[in-house]
Chain A
Amino acid sequence: MISPFQLHRPKTIEEACALLEQYGDQAKLLAGGSELILLLKMNLTSAAHIIDIKGIPGMDAITFEPGSQALRVGGLVTHRNLETSPIALEHFPLLVEMEGQVANIRVRNIGTLGGNLCFAEPHADPGTLLTAFGSRIKIRSTRGQRLLDIGDFFVDYYQTALERDEILTEVEIPKLSVNWSGAYLRFCPGERPSVAAAILMQWADGTCAGARLALGCVGPKPIRISEVESALRGKAAEEILGEALNIGAKMSDACDPPADIWGSVDYKRQIVKTLVSRGLQKCVQDA
């Protein structure tokens, strides 16, 4: 059973920050609640004060800034908002495709991208793709504002760099320049992915000009595999196709997945290899 709590419904981000500072450890932020309410029900966390931030206007906006060429996703934007956003579809079709696979439609209707990232569950979809995109996380508190690279935002299992008085207000996703193709692939026997891979490749005259390779669910947080990224640069598309399984094997050697309920180490490495190989094939096809 959930313990009683005082409910706060701030109308501005400043008010929310002040409440969070005032109640500190006793308070929890609530957006969609699809993660927090489960924890409260299981008594894995508790809060004397719940700060429901859904009433803060403007935080549910999805905008594309032509100047910085970045998609700005407000902290209250739900997975379903992104899945059905024409702006997101125009500039980030892969993001829309990924969001359409998160959990189930009921969760996507209320769960927010921001909340998903703050929960830092390693078996989640968005973090892996956003890591490949090189996203940044905008954070507010009464002390001011800061911007963190997603790689620094995720710290450990269920742990982010957020201080107890800080609120995630926006996710900033920089658009890739021209001639990129991409793939997000996951192995998902249930609601959550057991292993995930995000692959983005830039092409110039049939040759790989740049690559972003991220793996998810194979450790405490999503990781980029930079040594394989640099090895791909300069390789012809056909060469990459021919070596797809070898490249997949290199990716799987570069990660260190734990053996857990999602599978043994060898099993996960095999899935990484297969997903990466398929992702590379898709990137070459779409080049």
Chain B
Amino acid sequence: MDAVVIPIQFRLNGETRQADVRTHELMIDFIRDRLGLTGTKRSCDIEICGACTVILDGKAVSSCSIFAYELDGKEITTIEGLAQGDTLHPLQEAFIERGGFQCGYCTSGMILLAKTLLDQKPNPTRKEIQHYMDANICRCTGYQMILESIMLAAEKMAGKPA
């Protein structure tokens, strides 16, 4: 069968976009290869590790295992959408200040997943962060500093001194 192409319209990091996608095209391929946003990483490819996490209508999803056409009518945030110009998002700042990454491959997914947590629950306990974030894998095993980074980001976002 020839590829079936359908038009979609969506919001990408705050901007309205239109595109033609193949029905069988995966969201991660569309984001990386067609939109050129390579901050979204492919790793396990079976929605376990979380490296490809994006935020779709406020929810963290694995872009490796969802079709690109599902963007239609929705709002997507990738890691490239977090900073406002030269101003980093508090989560990005906190990850730098606390050393929340080693090789950096899981970082986009970790930060985006953490953002969905803090958006729902601005002041989570350490245990709540652990339970929520156990979805994503850091293969360098730098979990402790990731946890510290998210705690710090929560403080920053609440406007408290770090």
Contact = CB atoms under 8 A, between A and B. Distances in A.
Interface of A: 2-7, 33-34, 37-38, 41, 48, 50, 80, 103-107, 109-110, 190-191
Task: Name, among A48, A80, A106, A107, the residue most crowded by chain B CB atoms within 10 Å (CB to CB).
Answer: A106
Interface in B62-83: 62, 65-67, 69
Contacts of A109: 59-61
A105 B113 contact: yes
5 contacts: A5-B1, A41-B45, A104-B48, A105-B116, A106-B50
Interface residues of B, number: 29
A32 to B, nearest CB: 9
Given A34-B47, A34-B65, 5 more contacts: A2-B24, A4-B1, A33-B65, A41-B45, A104-B136
Interface of B: 1-4, 6, 22-24, 26, 45-48, 50, 53, 59-62, 65-67, 69, 113, 116, 132, 134-136
Nearest to B23: A7
Contacts of A41: 26, 45, 65
6 closest A-B pairs by CB: A104-B135, A7-B23, A109-B59, A2-B24, A4-B3, A37-B65
A106 B22 CA distance: 24
B135 A33 contact: no
A48 B3 CA distance: 11
Contact of A5 (B4, B62, B134): B4
Contacts of B132: 105
Nearest to A84: B120
A99 to B, nearest CB: 13
Contacts of A191: 48
Nearest to A33: B66
Contacts of B60: 105-106, 109
Given A34-B65, A104-B50, A107-B62, A7 B6 contact: yes
A257 B89 CA distance: 50
A103 B46 CA distance: 12
A80 B60 CA distance: 11
B37 to A, nearest CB: 18
Given A33-B66, A104-B135, A106-B135, A38 B53 contact: no
